[in-house]
């Protein structure tokens, strides 16, 4: 069961972020405990991927901070940032495999890039990671020869190649069949426990993420709209949480990207 008093490996404090003049996140506070799987949910465009990019130090907040092990990410120098990223594994939302490399070489890539390990050891590590995702038998195949779900698992093996302490998954369930969905969710949980890592799971998938998450944040319009354990949220009466969990089309969450009035866009006079 989840630890009620975790040590927080990652803390986001009073963070504001805008792309140019377009505010995306405002006054965000979040904490990610050591050993936990934390789900970050919210509608499309709410800022979830942006949060992952802030944690990885790819972009800088205009106010507030992301702290990893107490260190403010945006204050790290190049060397510090490199060391931090070495501890992180990221499964990108549209992450692609190298199409001209075999499954084996895709997983070996970060090991060859970031370590001086001898090739026999790299081989053992790659096979161990492929075994963990159930694809040791597919090591010689190229990405074009495997299914989309298998490709996702290879990407997962590549993500964990360096035994990261922080694992970030951006929509790992997109496009998977119901069985692969369950397999992937279990895998994320097992890998987190085996590595003693902190996993951040960005997803729309309520059922799978609630099954494995210790804690859940709901993001809406750039703010934390709700948070709690899956049990808390399942019994929540908050209209936003209910709309999301019950997948209701009507509720506080709107469908439209902010736009000028439709009539004026069409050149009609109101
Ligand atoms: N590089 C960028 N430049 C300008 N605006 C951006 C950029 N990336 C994202 N945005 C905007 O920031 C907002 C948040 O984007 P983000 O990708 O974080 O959303 P998301 O919650 O991950 O959505 P989805 O579920 O669709 O992946 C969106 O309104 C998007 O249009
Ligand atoms: Mg996204």
Distance from the alpha carbon of residue 140 to the mean position of ligand 2, in angstroms: 31
Ligand 1 contacts CB of residue 48 (under 6 A): yes
Site to probe by mutation for ligand 1, drawn from 46, 56, 172, 222 as the one with most ligand atoms within 8 Å of Cβ, is 46
Distance from the alpha carbon of residue 45 to the mean position of ligand 1, in angstroms: 5
| E strand residue ranges, the chain | 8-19, 22-33, 37-42, 63-68, 71-72, 88-91, 166-170, 198-202, 215-220, 223-228
Other CB atoms within a 10 A radius of the CB of residue 70 amount to 8
- Output the pLDDT for position 72: 95
- Across the chain, how many H-helices and E-strands are there? 10, 10
Tell me: the pLDDT tens digits for 188-245? 999 999 889 999 999 988 999 999 999 999 999 899 999 999 999 999 998 888 888 8
Tell me: the pLDDT tens digits for 60-85? 999 999 999 999 999 999 999 999 98
Ligand 1 contacts CB of residue 53 (under 6 A): no
Neighbouring residues of the ion ligand 2, judged by CB less than 5 Å: 49
Tell me: the pLDDT tens digits for 1-17? 555 566 899 999 999 99
Architecture of domain 8-87+165-183+190-265: 3-Layer(aba) Sandwich (3.40)
Enumerate the domain spans of the chain.
8-87+165-183+190-265, 99-163
- Output the pLDDT for position 255: 56
Ligand 1 contacts CB of residue 152 (under 6 A): no
**Per-residue DSSP letter, 29:** E
The pTM (predicted TM-score) of the whole model is 0.87
Site to probe by mutation for ligand 1, drawn from 41, 48, 171 as the one with most ligand atoms within 8 Å of Cβ, is 48
Whole-angstrom Cα distance, residue 226 to residue 114? Answer: 38
Among 51, 26, 25, 27, smallest CA distance to 38 is for: 51
**Taking 90 as the threshold, does the pLDDT of residue 136 lie above it?**
yes
Average confidence (pLDDT) over 97-122: 94
């Amino acid at each position: 069961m989840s630890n009620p008093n975790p040590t927080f490996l990652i803390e986001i404090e009073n963070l504001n972020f805008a792309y140019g003049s377009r505010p995306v996140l405002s006054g965000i506070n979040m904490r990610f405990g050591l050993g936990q799987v934390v789900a970050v949910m919210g509608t499309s465009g709410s800022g979830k991927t942006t949060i992952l990019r802030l944690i990885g130090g790819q972009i800088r907040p205009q106010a507030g901070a992301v702290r990893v092990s107490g260190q403010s990410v945006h204050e790290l120098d190049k060397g510090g940032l490199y060391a931090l990223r070495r501890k992180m594994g990221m499964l990108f939302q549209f992450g692609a495999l190298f199409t001209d490399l075999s499954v084996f070489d895709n997983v070996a890539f970060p090991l060859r890039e970031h370590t001086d390990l001898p090739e026999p050891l790299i081989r053992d590590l790659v096979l161990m990671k492929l075994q963990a995702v159930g694809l040791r038998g597919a090591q010689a195949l190229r990405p074009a020869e495997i299914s989309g779900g298998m490709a996702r698992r290879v990407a997962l093996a590549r993500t964990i190649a360096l035994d990261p302490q922080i694992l970030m998954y951006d929509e790992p369930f997109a496009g998977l069949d119901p069985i692969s969905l369950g397999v992937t969710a279990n895998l994320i949980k097992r890998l987190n426990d085996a590595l003693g890592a902190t996993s951040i799971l960005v997803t729309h998938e309520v059922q799978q993420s609630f099954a494995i998450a210790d804690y859940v944040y709901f993001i809406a319009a750039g703010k934390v709209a709700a948070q709690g354990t899956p049990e808390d949220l399942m019994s929540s009466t908050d209209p936003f949480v209910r709309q999301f969990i019950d997948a209701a089309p009507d509720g506080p969450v709107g469908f439209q990207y902010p736009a000028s009035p439709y009539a004026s866009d069409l050149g009609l006079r109101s």
